[in-house]
Structure 1
Amino acid sequence: MKIAIVILNWNGRNMLKRFLPILQSNLIADSVVFVADNASSDDSLQLLKSDFPDVRVIELDKNYGFADGYNKALQQIDAEYYLLLNSDVEVTSDWIEPMLWFMEANHDVAACQPKILSISDRHSFEYAGACGGFIDKYGYPYCRGRIFDTIEYDKGQYDNPMEIQWTTGACMLIRSSDYWAVGGLDGRFFAHSEEIDMCWRLRLMGRKLYCIPQSKVFHVGGGTLNKSNPRKTFLNFRNNLTMLYKNLPDKDLRHVMAVRWWLDYLAAFQMLILNRSWGDFKAVVKARRAFHKWKKQFLSERQEIQLRQESAPDVQVRSSYSILWQYYFHRKKEFSRLHPSVSKGTKQFPNVVLLPQIEALLNEGHTVTLQLRGYSMRPFLEDNRDKALLIKACHIAVGDAVLARLPQGGYVLHRIVKIKGDEITLLGDGNLVPEHCKRSDIIGFVVGFYRKGRSAIDKTNGIKWGLYSIIWMLLRPCRRYLLAFYRRVWLKMFKPI
């Protein structure tokens, strides 16, 4: 099947009765709804059997929590995509298509989420995920549309698709291959921070995460645990510290953990004195003790993750600033104040929307300037830095850089390395595995590149590009080693070429 929509349920009978009918009326072809039941003690299973016979039920033998509950359920499902969905989410019409189309067109993206609004105030973002998740240098999560308890109104200010640092488990579309490539959610977490931990590991593998606001859902929030709950406080603090221990690079671990010691106890006393919550105070203290007691369990995984850090040195998994400092001292309580360019200026659109329009313009005889995305044409071309000038493809030859539509979906701007009749073989300068298409799939021919923000164009029929092309194609047998040197050595010492 294409998409398995999987709801993890624990005593959520009322939520299922309220939101499953809306979900069932807004499905797409080749999508199947599953409910994995974490040994509920209410009559959830009876409700599913009587009122929702088309929903496939997976009965787990005990409450495994969010993380391992999903792991054990997904092991029993064969699908190209998993769509993790909370039982207290109300979907909307056409909510799946924008995310699926985006994933189909962008194979370097592992997972995405929709815009998540509050069901109690439909003009406000919802706490859990809002319009995409981020994490600061000390491990504090925040969102585009929600920083700590400041929740913004949705005024369309974040309606551009954006690469993010984590996707919410409340509604996440993820490739099953990527889910299992990183081992899924960490079942030891039980609940809270598990999706951020998994997203961190995905990004260390070079995979991308996006929020697609053209998809929209409404979330109740706090459907299992209330926001102010000592158990939730315990899980949040313990799991967040564990996530940092697992994933932080060696050079940052000691400093971050020292700062967190002070900040965690400051938070604990704030809960005790200002909020008068003895339960939350004890939960923070117990969480720190629990973390130190079990962190040895994660040592081997930490060592494996450090090897991934070395192979992906330029992946920005965390923000470079402290969100506490920005929020409390600089009074930057909206995401747009942290990133002013996000809500104004040129909007970014997913390839699935943009490239078909470019194809139409090229077929009409227009020239098109395309902002390049991704690293598949390194070392000469960089993600979001350089642009390509395209015309309609007429006569093509080996060595030409072209825009092509792939048979399996999506577009690439890569170099032709082989032509055999109607069969075309493409290879990105920064790739090792070629793609294949037909001659009719070549829709654009690159006549030049604008590099490093320059207004002068590097023409593809010029001496500079021609010499580079010849040399790089001759070096193809040793490209693996040259690219590894460029990524691991050159970029650490110098700027991109």
Structure 2
Amino acid sequence: MKTPLSIIVVTFNTRDLTIRCIENFYDDAVAAGWEIISVDNGSADGTAQAVSARFPAVRVIRAEANRGYAAGANLGLGASRGEVMILLNSDVLAPAGVLGALREALLANPDIGAISPGLRTASGEPQPFAFGADPTLDYLVRRGWRTLRRRAFLHDWGVSEPIDVDWVSGACLAVRAEVVRRVGPLDERFFLYFEDNDWCLRIRRAGYRVVYDPRWQVIHLGGASQPEGRAVNRVYQQSLLAFYAKHYGPLATAVLWLLLPVYNRLMRR
């Protein structure tokens, strides 16, 4: 039986954040008849047990191991009964009103394949990497220069109305079930990073729009279950190279591989 909306929260060793995340919308979601799914990616901190005890209406799916964000999200998508599905990071604070607005926007605009609200940091600043352009070589070079970094990030343009973009962050991303059936789930070859870029690109290639709508705002605390230090950069670059290999071909991938050391130096300037 279909439900109006499925909210899918993917977690990995973020028990307290996950509780806080679900608390933001739980009562209103239950009252509206929405489905709430918590996918636990093999946490060792008791996240799954805590969610089950605190929120009886939440359907908890336990993965045996952490195979990455995309794999966890796909477990939730596959189990979902919603006509609209929202992927939500466990470190996102999203009121039910925002989630409902995303659902209504998708149902009112069948040409929109994916939509995301504005993302704010804990201090209230616009979050970098909330949306952007495809990571072409030209884009990466522009982003590497300090003087162009703001514009390349697309987070300081003073955007106040919905705009079409190449991709939106998977931290809070809404799609219709029919779009998932048409383009397929997230690509699990991306353990972390660029799974949202890849999905949005496939959604656009299927003829849909990808929209960033800052009229609705959520707080993204950010990075709670990510690798730290050099491991972050390594995973990021592996996923970027995988994205290039999939979408831009071997020549562009080889050029990127050669340019990565220069790019890293520019980003540290």
* Short-chain TM bin: 0.7 to 0.9
Whether contact under 8 Å (1:113, 1:172) holds in the other structure is yes
1:5 counterpart residue number: 7
| 1:177 CA displacement | 2.0
In the other structure, the counterpart of 1:261 is: 257
Task: Give the drift of 1:148.
Answer: 6.8
1:17 alignment partner AA: I
Asked if structure 1 preserves the Cα contact closer than 8 Å seen for 2:24 and 2:96, the reply is: no
TM-superposition CA deviations, 1:102-122 (whole Å, max 9, x none): 211211111100011111x11
User: Are the equivalent residues in 1 in contact too, given 2:12–2:66 (CA < 8 A)?
Assistant: yes
Q: Which has the larger radius of gyration?
A: 1
Q: How do residues 378-457 of structure 1 correspond to structure 2 at under 5 angstroms?
A: none
* 2:260 maps to amino acid: D
Give the AA of the match of 1:169.
Answer: G
Q: 1:46 aligns with which of 46, 49, 52?
A: 49
User: Counterpart amino acid of 1:90?
Assistant: L
Alpha-carbon deviations, 1:127-150, whole Å to 9, x = none? 341xx32224326498xx965789
CA distance in structure 1 between the partners assigned to 2:200 and 2:21 by the alignment: 27
Question: Per-residue displacement from partner, 1:420-467 (whole Å, max 9, x unpaired)?
Answer: xxxxxxxxxxxxxxxxxxxxxxxxxxxxxxxxxxxxxxxxxxxxxxxx
Residues 150 and 111 of structure 1: is their aligned pair in 2 closer, same or farther, counting only changes over 3 Å? closer
- Whether 1:239 aligns to 2:239 is yes
Distance 2:263 2:9 in 1: 33
Give the match's secondary structure for 1:95. helix
Instruction: Report the residue type matching 1:137 in the other structure.
Output: T
Distance in 2 (CA, whole Å) between partners of 1:99 and 1:18 is: 21
Give the 3 Å change call, closer, same or farther, for CA 215–270 of structure 1 in structure 2. closer
CA gap of 1:101–1:233, structure 2 versus 1, over 3 A, is same
Higher relative contact order (CA 8 A, sep 6+): 2
How far does residue 264 in structure 1 lie from its aligned partner after superposition?
0.3
Return the offset for 1:30. Answer: 3.3
CA distance in structure 2 between the partners assigned to 1:158 and 1:149 by the alignment: 12
How far is the alpha carbon of 1:68 from its aligned partner?
1.1
Tell me which of 78, 81, 106 is aligned to 1:78. 81
Matches within 5 A, 1:229-378: 229-248=229-248, 254=251, 256-257=252-253, 259-268=255-264
Check the 8 A contact 2:4/2:83 in 1, yes or no: yes
**Separation of aligned partners in 2, 1:190 and 1:136:** 18
State the secondary structure of the residue aligned to 2:66. coil
- Distance of aligned partners of 1:181 and 1:230 in 2 relative to their CA distance in 1, 3 Å threshold: farther
- Deviation string 1:318-372 (CA, Å, 9 cap, x unpaired) is xxxxxxxxxxxxxxxxxxxxxxxxxxxxxxxxxxxxxxxxxxxxxxxxxxxxxxx
What whole-Å deviation, never above 9, does each CA across 1:137-194 have from its counterpart, x for those lacking one?
326498xx96578964x9xx31111111012110000112212322211111111111
Alignment root-mean-square deviation, CA: 2.7
Q: Which amino acid aligns with 2:136?
A: K
2:258 and 2:217 map into 1 onto residues whose CA distance is 38
Normalized per residue, the structure richer in helix is: 2
Residues 1:137 and 1:171: Cα distance change in structure 2 (over 3 Å): same
2:164 partner letter: E
C-alpha distance 178-265 of structure 1, shift in aligned 2 (>3 A): same
Runs of 4+ in structure 1 displaced over 4 angstroms? 145-151, 268-271
Query: How many positions carry a matched residue from both structures?
Result: 259
Contact kept? 2:117, 2:215, Cα under 8 Å: yes
| Per-residue deviation, 1:78 | 2.0
Structure-2 separation of matches of 1:19 and 1:146:
29
The gaps in structure 2 that reach 5 residues or longer are: 144-148
Contact kept in structure 1, 2:35 and 2:82, CA below 8 Å:
no
Which amino acid in the other structure matches residue 64 of structure 1? R
The answer to whether residue 156 in structure 2 is matched with residue 160 in structure 1 is no
Ranges in structure 1 where 5+ consecutive residues have no aligned partner: 276-497
